[in-house]
Amino acid sequence: MRCLLVPAALRWWIVLLAFSATEVRCQLSTWLLRSGNGEIHTLDLTAGSAILGPLIPTYGWGGSEDINLMTNAAGGILFTSAVGNNDKIEVRNALMAPMPNGSGLIANASSQASAISPRPCHPSQYYIIHHNTATHKSYYSVVDMALAGGLGDVAEKNVLFGTNMGEGLAVSHRLQSGCRWLFGFSIDGNKYILKRALITATSIGEPEPIDTITGFDASDWHSTLKLDPANDRLVLSLPNMVSPNTADVALWSLDLESGTVGDAEFIALSDDPIVGIEFSPSGDYLYFVGNAELEDMDFGRLHVPSQVVEVIDPAIGEWILSIECAGNGRLYVGASGLQRSLAEVRYPDAPLAGIGYNRTTIVFPTIGFRPVLPNAIEGEPPGDTSTPAFIDFNVDELPGCEGHLFNSEACLATWQQWDFGDGWTDLSDRPVHHYGVGTFDVTLTVKSCGQLLSLTKPALLTVEGIQPVAAFTAPDSACQRAAVSFENGSQLASSYLWLFGNGQTSLAVDPIHHFMQYGSFTTTLVATEGCIHDTARASLTILPAAIASFHTNSDPCDEVTRLINTSYSGQDWFWEFGDGDTSSVRDPLHIYLSMEAFEVRLTTDRGTMCADTAIRILHAGYGIIPVAWFIPNAFTPNGDGTNDVLSIKGPEVCASPVMTIHNKWGQAIWEGDSKTGWDGTSGGQPAPEGVYVYVLQGKMDRSLGYVVLIR
What pLDDT does 243 receive?
A: 58
pTM here? 0.70
What pLDDT does 368 receive?
A: 66
- Output 21 or 416, whichever has higher pLDDT: 416
Q: Each residue of 489-531: pLDDT tens digit?
A: 999 999 999 999 999 999 999 999 999 999 999 999 999 998 8
The domain in which residue 638 lies consists of 634-709
Other Cβ atoms less than 10 A from the Cβ of 288: the count is: 31
Q: Each residue of 303-316: pLDDT tens digit?
A: 999 999 999 999 99
Give the phi and the psi of residue 646 in degrees, each rounded to 5.
-85, 110
Of the residues 595, 619, 643, which one is the last residue of a structural domain?
619
Is residue 588 domain-shared with residue 654, that is, in the same domain?
no
CA distances from 359 to 87, 335, 496, 506 (A): 31, 7, 77, 77
Residues in the chain: 711
Gap between the Cα atoms of 67 and 600, Å rounded: 83
What pLDDT does 648 receive?
A: 85
Residue 378 lies in a domain: no
Is residue 502 domain-shared with residue 639, that is, in the same domain?
no
Burial class (CB in 10 A: 0-12, 13-18, 19+), 47: exposed
Closest listed residue to residue 156, CA positions, set 184, 129, 183: 129
What pLDDT does 626 receive?
A: 46
Bridge partners for 107 per DSSP: none
Mean pLDDT computed over 469-473: 97
Of the residues 463, 498, 514, which one is the last residue of a structural domain?
463
In this prediction, residue 621 has a pLDDT band, given cuts at 50, 70 and 90, of: low
Give the phi and the psi of residue 175 in degrees, each rounded to 5.
-80, 170
Mean pLDDT computed over 422-428: 94
- Count of structural domains, the chain: 5
Mean pLDDT computed over 354-378: 86
Find the CATH number of the domain harbouring 337: 2.130.10.10
Is residue 398 predicted with pLDDT exceeding 70? yes
In this prediction, residue 410 has a pLDDT band, given cuts at 50, 70 and 90, of: very high
Is residue 663 domain-shared with residue 515, that is, in the same domain?
no
Gap between the Cα atoms of 141 and 129, Å rounded: 7
| % pLDDT > 70, the chain | 92
In this prediction, residue 245 has a pLDDT band, given cuts at 50, 70 and 90, of: low
Is residue 705 predicted with pLDDT exceeding 60? yes
Q: Each residue of 176-218: pLDDT tens digit?
A: 999 999 999 999 988 999 999 999 999 999 999 999 998 777 7
What pLDDT does 556 receive?
A: 57
Residue 384 lies in a domain: no
In this prediction, residue 237 has a pLDDT band, given cuts at 50, 70 and 90, of: very high
Give the phi and the psi of residue 15 in degrees, each rounded to 5.
-60, -45
What pLDDT does 13 receive?
A: 37
Is residue 241 domain-shared with residue 353, that is, in the same domain?
yes
Is residue 37 domain-shared with residue 165, that is, in the same domain?
yes
Of the residues 493, 519, 543, which one is the last residue of a structural domain?
543
Is residue 97 domain-shared with residue 175, that is, in the same domain?
yes
Is residue 238 domain-shared with residue 336, that is, in the same domain?
yes
Gap between the Cα atoms of 116 and 206, Å rounded: 17
Task: Name 169's Cβ contacts closer than 8 Å, sequence gap at least 6.
Answer: 113, 114, 115, 129, 131, 138, 182, 183, 184, 225, 375
Q: Each residue of 33-62: pLDDT tens digit?
A: 988 778 899 999 887 788 999 999 999 988
Is residue 576 domain-shared with residue 687, that is, in the same domain?
no
In this prediction, residue 12 has a pLDDT band, given cuts at 50, 70 and 90, of: very low
Mean pLDDT rounded to a whole number for the chain:
89
Gap between the Cα atoms of 250 and 236, Å rounded: 5
CA distances from 231 to 255, 274, 285, 644 (A): 8, 22, 14, 119
Residue 386 lies in a domain: no
Bridge partners for 324 per DSSP: 332
Residue 338 lies in a domain: yes
Residue 624 lies in a domain: no
CB 637 within 8 A of CB 686: yes
In this prediction, residue 29 has a pLDDT band, given cuts at 50, 70 and 90, of: confident
- Output 117 or 7, whichever has higher pLDDT: 117
Give the phi and the psi of residue 391 in degrees, each rounded to 5.
-145, 135
Is residue 234 domain-shared with residue 276, that is, in the same domain?
yes
Q: Each residue of 551-606: pLDDT tens digit?
A: 887 665 667 888 999 998 888 999 999 999 999 999 999 988 876 789 999 999 89
Residue 153 lies in a domain: yes
CB 367 within 8 A of CB 15: no
Is residue 409 domain-shared with residue 477, that is, in the same domain?
no
Residue 689 lies in a domain: yes
Q: Work out the end-to-end distance of the chain between its first and last CA atoms, rounded to an integer number of angstroms.
A: 132
In this prediction, residue 628 has a pLDDT band, given cuts at 50, 70 and 90, of: low
Residue 369 lies in a domain: no
Q: Each residue of 288-303: pLDDT tens digit?
A: 999 988 889 999 999 9
CB 382 within 8 A of CB 437: no
What pLDDT does 701 receive?
A: 67
Closest listed residue to residue 154, CA positions, set 193, 110, 99, 113: 99
User: 3-class DSSP state for residue 10?
Assistant: helix
- Output 321 or 455, whichever has higher pLDDT: 455
Bridge partners for 344 per DSSP: 332, 358
Find the CATH number of the domain harbouring 507: 2.60.40.10
What pLDDT does 623 receive?
A: 43
Closest listed residue to residue 700, CA positions, set 618, 621, 630: 621
Is residue 538 domain-shared with residue 563, that is, in the same domain?
no
Is residue 448 domain-shared with residue 476, that is, in the same domain?
no
